[in-house]
Structure 1
């Protein structure tokens, strides 16, 4: 395949992000007043006009339930933190900033405020530990190195626990996510169960991710069965990928299951193709840092209290959580 195909020309980042964000907002605002369409994706209800029993949402369809104010600090868990953290009352968090709604349900921004499942989970953990987050923004490829060199105490960016990552950082798990595909509506594939179902197609994903690793590891599978290999293109901006799916410049995207399912319900002219694997996701800390155990214990406290389940229910993701947080789970790849 020529390297100068119509699928290989990047879309201008700012225009793409703005256009897709606007589209997601419009779709959410015009959605049904019910809280789910059956796929685990929240629909919208207008502010102040929710039907009895419906979940509260803002005018963008983003849920607004308060699932944090009732969470109390646990002095015993706070005592697990290093003295420096206890004295300062803060943990420095490295993460990437996702504008608009393109990163939901994991993360997004509404009126300058960060929102999302991951945001609620980390705020709940901070409440249990009796500290606050000092949030500092990097990029997905720079957060883990920032944890390694001490710039951040903790990293959070939907990081899957892999063998290579566990060599350099510790994980404290807080959910399981999967690896799934979203396609433009006219792509001649409706279900993907293995990578060879995508032979001959162009796949867009983010660089430095588990998705890149999976596609790289499987690069020879199509040729091995006599089919044309798939081609991979990398985009740092998810909004660019989503706009590309709508305008025909991207055939298939590869990303986290929770996000892909959300996108399939909110981005026009796309379809969910399926999930091929799952991965434990967690906060990352420096190797052998006591912070990792404190984070894991805090997640388990939230699971035991029921607050963890409330957060997943808020984002219409019941059943997507984990029964127990663990340190450094056995990687799936």
Structure 2
């Protein structure tokens, strides 16, 4: 049975509408009811093959007939982006939906493989995965090894226990706090940068914490073991809506203060696939199917107008 939840719209506030992209407090009361189908019967949008777009594929990939899609959502996943359905095995969410639709336009059979975040990149490096669809932010460092085509804006959210009475707008606001973040993510780079700024200012140091799953992170937040969690805005909003035990206390661009972060489909650099992915995504946008996919997961505020291949990403100096 579909699960009815309320997701915070303010969690996806565009950073350019804020002060140089700095965090702004979210309003947990500003919500919109949306019905999310968390069953294994997804009725995904699978467009018909577009011969013109499919012709952009390298011959060997077209002949293979399959598009192997890596999603780094092992364990509890990260709803509403990628997570297990009520049968505890079917991978559902916005990221699989977009990738499966891309495969349809390319005339390829989608093969979804759920893996850990670390193994996702190992799989891309080895060629095991043709495509990574896992809330991957474009960074200049990653562009050295991978090609990207953007399909969502990247916004982050600061999550605190409900009633914590904090607002995160600048590094000084996290001084002396225990903050959880995902290992190897771009939000980790941002948090480390903020923590270093706090230290340089002579304020109480930030203690950065790591957990294996989102579930463990949220349990730690609820029990008071940590003060804050910095993670993708959609996942934070979903947590607020479905539990009522936490609240968004600030938002921030995934690429930092001066650049709007972009989420991208990812593939091994120079493997000849990225132009086909970009054309397929533009076709999805043109047909309206892209908007429908985002709408069903309440991610309309993170929509892009067109596919961008290897746009400016999180700078190397922001590591």
- Compute the TM-score of the two structures, normalised by the length of structure 2: 0.82
What is the aligned partner in structure 1 of residue 79 from structure 2? Answer: 104
Q: 2:222–2:246: 8 Å Cα contact kept in structure 1?
A: yes
What is the aligned partner in structure 2 of residue 46 from structure 1? Answer: none
Aligned-partner Cα distance in 2 for 1:300–1:310: 14
Query: How big is the shift at 1:63?
Result: 11
Aligned-partner Cα distance in 1 for 2:9–2:58: 42
1:285 aligns with 2:285: no
TM alignment of 1:24-173, pairs within 5 A: 36=6, 39=9, 57-58=36-37, 66=43, 68-69=45-46, 71-99=47-75, 103-110=78-85, 111=87, 112-173=89-150
Aligned-partner Cα distance in 2 for 1:288–1:38: 39
Q: 1:67–1:307: 8 Å Cα contact kept in structure 2?
A: no
Query: How big is the shift at 1:274?
Result: 1.5
Please list every run of at least 4 consecutive aligned residues from structure 1 whose deviation after the TM superposition is greater than 6 angstroms.
62-65
Aligned-partner Cα distance in 2 for 1:319–1:56: 17
Higher Cα radius of gyration: 1
- Which residue, out of 145, 152, 174, partners 1:175? 152
Q: 2:169–2:250: 8 Å Cα contact kept in structure 1?
A: yes
**Secondary structure of 1:218's match?**
helix
How many residues get paired?
286
List runs of 5+ in structure 2 lacking aligned partners: 12-32, 255-260
Aligned-partner Cα distance in 1 for 2:234–2:101: 20
**Secondary structure of 1:328's match?**
coil
What is the aligned partner in structure 2 of residue 236 from structure 1? Answer: 212
What is the aligned partner in structure 2 of residue 308 from structure 1? Answer: 290
Aligned-partner Cα distance in 2 for 1:250–1:219: 15
- Higher relative contact order, chain-length normalized (CA < 8 Å, sep 6+): 2
List runs of 5+ in structure 1 lacking aligned partners: 1-24, 42-53
- Compute the TM-score of the two structures, normalised by the length of structure 1: 0.78
1:211 aligns with 2:187: yes
1:245 aligns with 2:227: no
Query: How big is the shift at 1:67?
Result: 5.1
**Residue 241 to residue 142, structure 1, CA distance change in 2 (3 Å):** same
Q: 2:7–2:298: 8 Å Cα contact kept in structure 1?
A: no
RMSD (Å) for aligned C-alpha atoms: 2.5
**Secondary structure of 1:174's match?**
strand
